[in-house]
A and B are shown apart, each in its own frame.
Chain A
Amino acid sequence: MNVSFSLTLLSLALLYQSTANAEETVPQDDLFFQSLPIVLTASRLSQPVSEAPSAMTVINREMIDASGFRSVPELMRLVPGMYVGFADANRPVVSFHGSADEYAHRMQILIDGRSVYMPPFGNVGWADLPLMVEDIDRIEVVRGPASASHGTNSFYGVINIITRDAMSQNGGSVSATGGYASDFSVRYGKVSEQVDFRLSAGYRSDAGLNNNVYNDHNATKLVNFRASFHPSEQDNLELQLGGSDGLYGMGIRDRVGEVRRDSVFRDTTSQSQFELLTWLHNWSDNDESKLTYSNTFRSAQDPKLCVNTGLCDQLNPLGFAVSNVISQRNELGLQNTHAFGENNRLVWGGNVRRDYANASLLFTQSYTVNPWQIFAHDEWHISSAAVLNIGGMLENNGMNSQDFSPRASLSYHFTPQQTVRVGISTATRSPAMFEAYVSANNTYFGGAYVPPLESLRPEHVISREIAYLGEFPSLGMTLDSRAYVDEVNDLIWWDKFVDPTNSSYPDSYKNLLAAEYRGWETTVKYRWDEGRSFLSANFVLQSASARLSGTPTQYNNPNVIANFDPTQAYGAVVRAYYQDQYLNQFSQSVPAQSGSLLWSQHLGNQWKISLGYYFRGLVRVGDVSNDVTPEYRMRRIDVRIAKRLNESVRNNAEVALVIQNLTQDQYTNYGTLNEKAAPYFTQRAWLTTTIDF
């Protein structure tokens, strides 16, 4: 008894002592029992391309680096079938299916789920977007309508930009560029148990496209902050803030003896800012809910916008005015992911939005539109071989129209590596504010536009596709090929010479055109050198045709108007205009052939060389009249040579030289006037040094 008692005491004493010891020396066994947060939540995991409901191109970090591109619009050259043009360096035009005016309304552009497709023009302010290319993790581009999963305006496609996580930056990085471009950026981030953050600040500037013709120099200051806070294993709160302030040259040099409204050289300015708050909650059964709120604000000033073409042509100061365009979007959204077992996942939710625009030269008043939408998307693995994606979105566009956009696709894996997908998808595009609400007395476009005579309806698209996706791991190769037919209806088009009583013969907008796009897109990717070197090639064949689906207002006007042609009726002039300028030329709105090739090769551990080849046939975008030079075919080669200066993993330093248009290919650019369309994209080069610390 005594012995037992003392043993117990001894054991307790030992236990006490060893507790302390054990924790110092051998605590690792606890790892087997530790509870862990759900890190790779449903919304973090993206669908593999072979199971996604639509054709998708992913531009990842290594492609971004290899391309040498400094902006998102240029990166879009790596997307099969994407049109990339520049009205000038500060006004990129990015659109799937080529057909676009300068505003390229028909795509959704998201940054971390936040739409930057802004009122009143329904476009993206690419130049002053508060986003640094260095902060992009990847860009997922959906080629085709995708309202069911990406919401409103996902019409021809979606550019979904995903920035790096707050935790992806642990330490600092400085980068400086000299040569054609002068860029500077500092990035710093810290990862800790409860809070991660990254902060980037930078300056980006260059001389523009071709200073013999354009005044399009630019300088943008940018700041971006992202913090993520994990108060519990189930919750993640994230805050993103960003802003930009930029100065952008504007103006096109005149032809000798001619003055144009665009010809006055001046500096425009714009400021952008945004806040994005996300709360992600994981329910116990791996379901999750995501609540987001965002505010996006943009203000753009032009000190000398031409408001009266006649006076501007005489360089009369009264022909010009200061333009201020303010736009704002607030959006509140909820998205839930619910798994019905292992093989069925439902994503559903909704959001409400407030779009605000104030532009005194465009509208008589400020406008606010309040759309809402609800959506559901189900991904069902019917068997190990078949995946059915089915979904839809119901949207009220806040402009008296309610639409439902369904989608369905079936992916069938004939073998785990060989997949065939058939799909049908629809989407709508609501009229942009300026199309719907432009005031009768507006001067923004020099008095060239008047309000629509009848209210505009949303545009509709229905896309049908069949695709093949093959993986050949033994060859290091993947192949993605698809054929599609996209039918577009009720396209909002220029209602020409809508008011015969107005001496400047202004245009308006009306649902007028039906178009059909057919295409065949192929992407081949090949990797070697243990995956370090790669080649990614795209080739696209496409065609487009259009017909009138509505009647232009003056199409049948029998009156004779002297100014146009005293021998013809007004309506006949209008009819001839549609035939010559739009319908006959529509096939040129897409290049018959286009493609790209990006090759990246490691040479030893220090050198990396990459080469981009971009080609495109002749193309003429939507609002270019037939007497303007179309964009000639492009055969452009860019090259990037990078050397890592430090062998150690830490304190990495890299110097990279980029030369664009190495062979000085003489291709022309987007332009609505000959002077704008004709200049070549000249060769340019810059050197970038990056040091991580």
Chain B
Amino acid sequence: MIKLLFICFLIAFVNAAQAAPLRVAVLADDAPPFKEFMQLLQQEIDRQALPIMLNSYAADAESADLILAVGVKSATLAVKTRLPVLTVLVSKVTADALLLQQPRKNTAAIYLDQPLARQVALLEAIFPHLQKVGILNADDSADRAELKHLLRSKKLKLLQQTLTPELSLANALEALLPSVEVLLALPDTLIYSSQNIRFILLSAYRNRVPLIGFSRNYVAAGALAAVFSTSTQIATQTAFTLVAFANNRSLMASQYPQDFDVLMNTQVARALNIPLQDTAQLKKQLKLHLFAGGASNE
């Protein structure tokens, strides 16, 4: 339904678009996920015959209407120019930090991560009787006020354990896991590194606490579920945002990914005796939930 609306919008924009195509200078390094994203975006533009021309920044910096910065490195660079910048595949924390360093107008991002409200909605959908949610913090700097507020509004309790030089990850997990029903992974390199994930997942499983991850790979590794947006979904949204810019020459506000997927690890759910749910149904539930005013995009 939403996708359909989306396409209708796109078509409307295409029709309204001027004959001159939008010149987009792309800043992206060669990391595989970025390359894949660019291919998907080009495909989307071709499929819809959108009046958008993608050129590499190095080739077309001069006459570009806008810079599309893919990933952190490119975004860091792009915000130092004077052109409007659309940043993609960057998390909200990173994007906000960049703009704090380099305050400027005419910049927007399509975040990589999911709005907290959506993640909380997933928790609610999977665990109807949930009471206590646990998270790990690498240090005191993390601001969990929004999450706390969100959970409180759902009558859920947030239990946090923060690593300190004295409190190792093992100790933190030992302290946290026995008193929570679910562990919500929030991206933090000091905690969710690929070497730690083995330890975290096994400790959580030993305590029969499911982990909610933030990428598809988490679900394969042993997380119970994750809500995430695929590169295709973000590419579609990017194309849409570019068309909108072509029409009124101004960027929409930064936004979270609109379309997303929910994945659940069947085997883990069975082992933890958690009722299996149809992921398409879960997705629908999450969308409805957000429409019903649960959304908090900023």
Contacts and interface: CB of A to CB of B under 8 A. Distances in A.
Interface residues of B, number: 72
Contacts of B267: 40, 42, 45, 339, 345
A26 B222 contact: no
A39 B94 contact: no
Nearest to B93: A28
Nearest to B175: A649
A19 B74 CA distance: 9
Given A32-B112, A38-B220, A39-B202, A45 B61 contact: no
A649 B171 contact: yes
Interface string A538-582: 000000000000000000000000000000000000000000000
Given A26-B97, A37-B197, A193-B195, A31 B174 contact: no
Contact of B72 (A26, A34, A649): A26
Interface residues of A, number: 63
Interface in B180-203: 187-189, 192-195, 197-199, 201-203
Nearest to A170: B170
B237 to A, nearest CB: 16
Contacts of B57: 11
A471 B275 CA distance: 12
B152 interface: no
Contacts of A342: 266
A504 interface: no
A29 B61 contact: no
B172 interface: yes
A46 interface: yes
Contact of B73 (A19, A40, A192, A339): A19
A187 B112 CA distance: 43
Contacts of A471: 273
Contacts of B222: 38-41
Contacts of A473: 129
Contacts of A42: 267
A36 B226 CA distance: 14
A3 interface: yes
A637 B80 CA distance: 75
Contacts of A18: 73, 76-77
Given A11-B58, A37-B194, A45-B268, A22 B202 contact: no
A50 B197 contact: no
A342 B276 CA distance: 11
A678 B189 CA distance: 65
Interface string B66-83: 000001111011001100
Interface stretch (B15-23, B39-47, B210-218): B210-218
**Residue from the set B73, B89, B94, B132 with the largest chain A CB neighbour count within 10 Å:** B73
Interface string B155-185: 0000000000011111110110011000000
A365 interface: no
B271 interface: yes
Interface in A444-474: 471, 473-474
A27 B73 CA distance: 9
A421 to B, nearest CB: 15
Interface string A188-208: 000111000000000000000
Contacts of A481: none
A416 interface: yes
B90 interface: yes
B271 A46 contact: yes
A44 B168 contact: no
A212 interface: no
B91 interface: yes
A487 B71 CA distance: 68
B206 interface: yes
14 contacts: A8-B58, A15-B77, A21-B76, A26-B97, A31-B193, A36-B218, A38-B222, A39-B201, A40-B268, A44-B202, A47-B271, A168-B202, A339-B267, A342-B266
Given A36-B221, A38-B221, 13 more contacts: A15-B29, A18-B73, A28-B94, A28-B189, A31-B188, A31-B193, A38-B220, A39-B222, A40-B201, A51-B270, A193-B195, A286-B220, A530-B131
Sorted from nearest, which 4 A-B pairs have the closest CB atoms? A40-B222, A45-B271, A170-B170, A36-B221
